[in-house]
Amino acid sequence: MSESAKKRRITDKKIFRLIKLQIVLLLILVAGITYYYASGYAGEVSALKAEAIDIVKHSSVDTFRQIETSEVYDSNGQTISVLKGEKDVYYITYEHIPTYVCEALISIEDKKFYKHNGVDYKAIARAVFAMMKDGEVTQGGSTITQQLARTIFLSNEKTWQRKVEEIYIASELEKKYSKEQIIEFYLNNVYFANGYYGIQAAAKGYFSKDVTELSLSQICYLIAIPNSPTYYDPVINPNNTLKRRDLILSAMYKDGVIDEKTYNRAKNEEMVLQRPDSVKNNYVETYAYYCATKALMEVDGFEFKNEFQSKEAKEAYERAYEEAYNNWNQSLFTSGYRIYTSIDLNKQNELQTAIDTNLEEFTDVNEEGIFALQGAGVCIDNSTGMTVAIVGGRSQDVSGYTLNRAFQSFRQPGSSIKPLIVYTPALEMGYTPDDMVLDEKFEGGPENAGGKYAGEITLREAVAYSKNTVAWQLYDQVTPEKGIGYLNTLGFSHIEKDDYGMAACLGGLTVGVSPLEMAKGYATIFNDGYMRDPGCILKITDAAGNIIYEANQEEVQVYQENAARTMTDMLQSVIAVGTAKDIDLGDMPCAGKTGTTNSNRDGWFVGYTQYYTTSVWVGYDLPKQVPGLTGSSYPAAIWQEYMLDIHEGLLPAEFLRPVEYIGTEEQQEEPVLEEEENPEDQQVEGEFDQENPEEENTDTVTYQLVTQTFDGTEIPPGAIPDNATDIQITTTTEGQ
């Protein structure tokens, strides 16, 4: 066969294969079209298109100014806050929007904005291809017009129907409104975090300026936020916001919008927030918004997690969480919700006062004018398991941001972690308060505060005087895997791989814990080992009163009942004779634990009565030594002052005893355990605990069982109705 014949034959084969491929593709197309119509998709898409046309047809310029105001109430029906985007107040027309604002937005979000008709099909195709390749959504394909359509007219539901309707609405918007109007609508409706809707509201809220007064760098800083209002929140995550600002500036430079000199000057400009005084110290509001957002996510079917099989799984979850959180958080300011909370503003004010007065001698401030030494506290109602007060810092009248340290900051817990991961688990293993343990220095172990050791002591004494050597030995038996497992079950959010080591038993955690998490942990011990969600949302309704969400406390068992009750009994010794001696509540039985980290950088006190559980943290935002700070100093003083206030007028109520009482019926006199007043740092790496036990004490603990009857019916201690007229109280003393 000649060479030309071979080439012709090869060419014929290629043509034949191409024809076969075209036939196959045609058959697939025909099959797809057939399925499209036969399955009813055609009718559904046609209906979505008709609905989109109708939506846009009945829209007007006023549509993009409207907003429904949401309201938040405390447990007594008192208004906590009104959530509104204030579009009417801060709406700014296109001619008053600085050119740089529009150019920055287009450079980073939609480079073809002036070329497409509302939809960039190539961008959508790239996003679909990336999703098929990566197995998840890794890049967006939405234009500015599509984002506007989604923000104004659609829900947060992630379905193909919503995406199709979004595309049709965007196309119709482009037919009815000019490009200038669309960008005006977008910039006045997009969410900038912290309740700010629109570029003007954001300018006022973050820089106390009109948008026309902003520098290029400040403009790009604000434009960075809407992409992910939580991740780029300049209050909580300023470094993330700064990085995206630089990305926007780089995009503008590459697009030829700004020259190199302008780019460098803007990139080097320091970002300093100047927020109005009215937004400071809104600790109740920030926590209520957080809880309400999570409640709406729950209603929508979002599954919350805190344990992951791999780093990739964790990252995927965090992306999904962030997107869902952003969407539902935005709805708080536009959907007209009525949000009913468990917060008691009277108790909130009392906790704030206790923190402020006990730390008033510390007057140093940081660069933003915020008090350098801070405190935070959380109070949970033990009858419901819900939060009634949450304070995230000291109050002051200066401009600056509000960080709610009560649930947004994580610090080393020191010895306050021991009941959660060492002692209650040890009790489950069969230990009793009267078991003898050895307090001595051993190779590879930690030192006690002051370097003193008591030899053989009871487990109760080890808890009361916060003996590090004993906690270490017990934790070795419990094992770090099991100990940290309790924190995972409790829902502690920042447990890292490196936390599965011995250091954790003394509070040596990679990231740490929040006051909210610690209150939740101790409330679980009080509640016979059953965990409840310490949120604050009782109910959410729409403006018409229809219930959207209603709290339903589901209890999860973390500890065995007997172990939990015995732990409570032992924690009473901490206050009676141990590291928190004299931090009592008079006749009101109470239990608690101190915590102090290396170099006195963090101080904790977490404790409870039958009525309330309260946790308190004191320290610097950037950890450093605080002279005189221990768990038994400022934190315990704050706890005591606050708890005395909120228990005023309540009847003393004893804790429930173990089903089978563990320990002696009569608590014995504690031995003399001398410690230095200012202990040295521990000998093991990490933020460990160092306590200051008292010198000597011969006090005893009294156990009382109180039975109350009203109209012949037995009722819990302290639960006497306000209208009671015939009350019988029988008191039995069980130990003196």
Active site residues: 109, 415
> Where on the phi/psi map is residue 465: left (φ > 0), alpha (ψ -120 to 50), or beta?
alpha
Contact (Cβ atoms closer than 8 angstroms) between residue 625 and residue 656: no
- For residue 83, what is the enclosing H or E element? strand 79-83
Contact (Cβ atoms closer than 8 angstroms) between residue 421 and residue 483: yes
Q: Which residue has the tokens 């965990």?
A: 531
d(CA 88, CA 195): 14
* Residue 336 CB coordination number (10 Å): 18
**Count of residues in the chain:** 736
- For residue 4, what is the enclosing H or E element? helix 3-38
> Where on the phi/psi map is residue 501: left (φ > 0), alpha (ψ -120 to 50), or beta?
beta
How do strand 530-531 and strand 556-557 relate by DSSP bridges?
antiparallel
Minimal CA–CA distance to 536: which of 647, 643, 404?
404
For residue 286, what are the CA distances in angstroms to 42, 52, 253, 291? Answer: 45, 36, 37, 9
d(CA 246, CA 37): 48
- For residue 538, what is the enclosing H or E element? strand 537-541
* Residue 658 CB coordination number (10 Å): 21
Q: How big is the chain by its Cα radius of gyration, in Å?
A: 31
Buried b / exposed e along 40-71 (16+ C-beta atoms within 10 A): eeeeebeebbeebeebbeebeeeebeebeebb
Q: In what order do the strands lie in the sheet with 727-735?
A: 713-715, 703-710, 727-735
Q: What three-state secondary structure class fits 677?
A: coil
d(CA 188, CA 193): 13
Interior CA angle at 156 toward 152 and 162, to 5°? 80
Handedness of CA 207, 210, 211, 217 (dihedral sign): negative
d(CA 95, CA 53): 28
Buried b / exposed e along 507-518 (16+ C-beta atoms within 10 A): bbbbebbbbbbb
Question: Which amino acid is present at 488?
Answer: N
DSSP string, 144-170: HHHHHHHHHH--S--SHHHHHHHHHHH
d(CA 131, CA 631): 51
Q: Rounded to the nearest 5°, which phi and psi values hold at 68?
A: -105, 125
For residue 272, what are the CA distances in angstroms to 94, 176, 216, 235, 523? Answer: 27, 40, 14, 11, 40
